[in-house]
Structure 1
Amino acid sequence: MKTANTPISKLYYGWIIVLIVFMTLIVSAAISSFPSVLIQSLEREFGWQREAISGVISIRILLYGLMGPFSAAMLAKFGVRRMMISAIIVMLFSLGLTPFIHSVWQLVLLWGVLGGLSTGTLANVLGVTVANRWFVKHKGLVIGLLTASAATGQLLFLPLLAKITEEQGWRNAVYVIMGALILILPIIAIWMRNHPSDVGSPALGAQEIVKPAPFQGNIFLMPLNTLKQVSRSGTFWLLAGTFFFCGFSTNGLIGTHLIPACGDYSIPVVTAASLLALMGMFDLVGTTLSGWLSDRFDSRKLLFWYYGLRGLSLLFLPYALGGGYTQLTVFAVFYGLDWIATVPPTAKLTSSTFGAEKAGMVFGWILVAHQLGASIAAYGAGYLRDVLGSYTVPFVAAGFVCLLAAVFALRIRKNRQHALAA
């Protein structure tokens, strides 16, 4: 075991941890985004209404978010490696049974409940927890990289999954995702570590090796107690409120409904998936850059610009859908740069306000608001599409709420409040 006086190798082990978590979140993101590819296939095979399938996705998104604060507690109690392995095993179980479904309630159980809980364990809370444990220096950059992994998952998997679904059926696409999970599992088991002290190293930018304090309390009650404490903070509600609008305008709406919306204009599913992949490529750049910027500039002003520009792009989307591939490509690039760029400054504000030790759990509750907004958008947009025959109203509504979020972002207090100690 290394000590603080042992010569440190040129490669900080924390970067290996980042790589492992990045690869894991890529696969988890592919699972989260795959239902958008499935919508039309399930409609054709089983005759299910889009509202019913959207409801399943809504449940998955909501449970994904609700898992956040409890995931932070379980990561602290049981360790990052053990929780990552457990989540992947649950994913493999739910995916393995999916090809045999024949009714909506089975899709609810496997993709809505089990899928939501397992992917919720491997969510942004994991990235924030890893960044806070392993990094003092470059923390914002690391959060940006791990957040961008969701976009990279779409970049790598969605066009491939869409092509397999169209040519070989959606069941074979499920098996591809299972294969990726099986490949990543031994990498986590062998090389993943819970804390810098496990390799005898301080956090990058810290001077001393500090072992984590033993987890105290109940993994179910502690997140609830944390929520009770932070609910007295106006900053918490502003962060949660803006993140609610973030979820409403991203994975719940565009991540779920862009592909079927393109289908309404006779755009092939592989082409539509490629648009999402293009967004993913630009979001990888935008979110990583956002992490770098959040280490250097006022996060509130960054959020103002991110939400404002996203709102304008969503107001442009109905025109782009009717205008053809050129307009859709412009939308994909513009929107993609800003897709989840809001996460690094939001996480940074959370850490500076409530302290690094509790940042993961507090951010978990802020993520609940994000996924609540996404859940409402996922179901609501599907419902309005069935009633109105198009997605124009939900897309325009999302654009306006993003402009409102931009105003809210400027009202967040800049100074550290130590709200949990209040």
Structure 2
Amino acid sequence: MPQTSQAAVVAPRAGKKPTRIHRAWFVAAVTFVTIIGAAAFRSLPGLLIDPLHQEFGWSRGTIGAAVSLNLALYGLTAPFAAALMDRFGIRRVVAVALLMIALGSGLTVWMTAAWQLLLCWGLLVGLGSGSMALAFAATVTNRWFTERRGLVTGILTAASASGQLIFLPVLSLMVENHNWRPAVVTVALAALAVVPFVWLLLRDHPADVGLNPYGAQEFVPKPAPVTGAARRAVAVLSKAARTGPFWLLAGTFAICGASTNGLVQTHFVPAAHDHGMPVPAAASLLAVIGVFDVVGTIASGWFTDRFDSRRLLAVYYALRGVSLLFLPMLLAPSIHPPMLFFIVFYGLDWVATVPPTVALCREHYGDDSAIVFGWVLASHQVGAAIVAVLGGVARDVFGTYDMVWYASGALCAAAALMALVIRRRPATPVPVAG
């Protein structure tokens, strides 16, 4: 059916009286739950480094390589997934991604060689989780909301931390008291449990249910499917890469990933264990980071709707860098007040960088901002992947993580300066798609 007649069929329904709560908030809620399900596996890497090392004799560098592949694919898949959502719809892409996570996680139960860890944990779960990365949240936000975008981005970003909060203490107890295998089976089942919610409740566009996007005064017809998803993702990258803001955003976000997913999420638990702290206690501290990350990220979304995103990023990175410089002095066999202060402080800043980064992508790149952010997120995960490997190698070589903490703090200081260099929004968005 031609697009004009399709719009004519759907548009009259837009006049119906809206419900008390706009459907966009229900879509956001389903997206939140979906990201939580995908986040379960992201809680595991730091918990499994020591058990896998003890059972199979694999070096921490080898295990870190699997984590690195997972983190890299998590980012590199995102822009292509955003383009696939434009072609096949959000619901189909996300459902397939959840099934890939369940398959990859479940198969690790039978692995006996390091290459199988790379295949299951690195490749399958990396591709699946990358298809539900923050580019998924950006796509939902751009389609369903014209107001409160910063707040919604903050809420959906916080879903990843909420997944860590929900699963991390339980998984750490499983690993400590039973084995690592029940933990990965739990993750596989969690991913499978979310699939029915996605298929039955998630909708691709407000036009599918005859509604305006939240805050919009006019009906927005559903765009025709965009073919050539891979070609479009590469074309968007090619043109965005010719602009300065893209490289500054990519560079700052690479440091963001290096200092969070790559370093703290992957290596904090084994680093604390090196100082005599029990694994469940260290995992509980990461879970507390998840609690305060929810608060910090939602607050950051609120700030992003009201303040200069560049200055927000500069403040976030500067504070993160200072906190990392103090961490080596705080690690001890038991939990003490200064360590709790670090955990709360770091939690508030964990992914507070996401809402202003998404906002800057939207300001500079318009309708293609979700794909551009997907590429920026790819840099985030590449940074995380590099540090996930280097952190393990540094521990193997030097017997301590101290040098990695200091280097990461210095990188955060550089990111703060880079954020301030990003130019202000041009009069009209820079076109990046042909």
TM-score range, shorter chain: over 0.9
Contact 1:201 1:209 in 2 (8 A): yes
1:421 Cα deviation after fit: 5.5
Structure 1 distance, partners of 2:25, 2:192, is 23
Structure 2 distance, partners of 1:111, 1:187, is 24
Residues 69-89 of structure 1: per-residue CA shift (max 9 Å, x gap): 101100110100101110111
Structure 2 distance, partners of 1:158, 1:110, is 20
What letter matches 1:48 in structure 2? Answer: W
Aligned to 1:345: 356
* 1:420 correspondence with 2:407: no
Q: 1:269 aligns with which of 252, 276, 279?
A: 279
- Among the aligned pairs, what percent are the same residue? 45
Structure 2 distance, partners of 1:323, 1:395, is 18
1:179 Cα deviation after fit: 2.3
* 1:297 correspondence with 2:307: yes
Contact 2:240 2:432 in 1 (8 A): no
Aligned to 1:83: 93
* 1:25 correspondence with 2:32: no
What SS does the corresponding residue of 2:349 show, helix, strand or coil? coil
What SS does the corresponding residue of 1:3 show, helix, strand or coil? helix
Contact 2:146 2:214 in 1 (8 A): yes
Aligned to 1:370: 380
Structure 1 distance, partners of 2:390, 2:105, is 26
Aligned to 1:397: 407
Unaligned runs of 5+ in 1: none
Q: Tell me the TM-score normalized by structure 2.
A: 0.95
Aligned to 2:295: 285
Residues 135-155 of structure 1: per-residue CA shift (max 9 Å, x gap): 011000000001111111111
Aligned to 1:330: 341
Contact 1:81 1:193 in 2 (8 A): yes
Aligned to 1:354: 365
Structure 1 distance, partners of 2:419, 2:303, is 16
What pairs up with 1:210-289 in 2 under 5 angstroms?
210-289=220-299
Structure 1 distance, partners of 2:61, 2:101, is 25
What pairs up with 1:157-172 in 2 under 5 angstroms?
157-172=167-182
Structure 1 distance, partners of 2:277, 2:418, is 36
1:324 Cα deviation after fit: 4.6
Aligned to 2:196: 186
Contact 2:86 2:226 in 1 (8 A): no
Residues 301-350 of structure 1: per-residue CA shift (max 9 Å, x gap): 10011000000110011011148522221111111100000000000010
Unaligned runs of 5+ in 2: 1-9
Equivalent residue pairs, number: 421
What SS does the corresponding residue of 1:253 show, helix, strand or coil? helix
Contact 1:229 1:419 in 2 (8 A): no
What pairs up with 1:117-132 in 2 under 5 angstroms?
117-132=127-142
Residues 276-324 of structure 1: per-residue CA shift (max 9 Å, x gap): 0000000000001000100000001100110000001100110111485
What letter matches 2:347 in structure 1? Answer: G
Structure 2 distance, partners of 1:62, 1:325, is 32
Structure 2 distance, partners of 1:279, 1:148, is 11
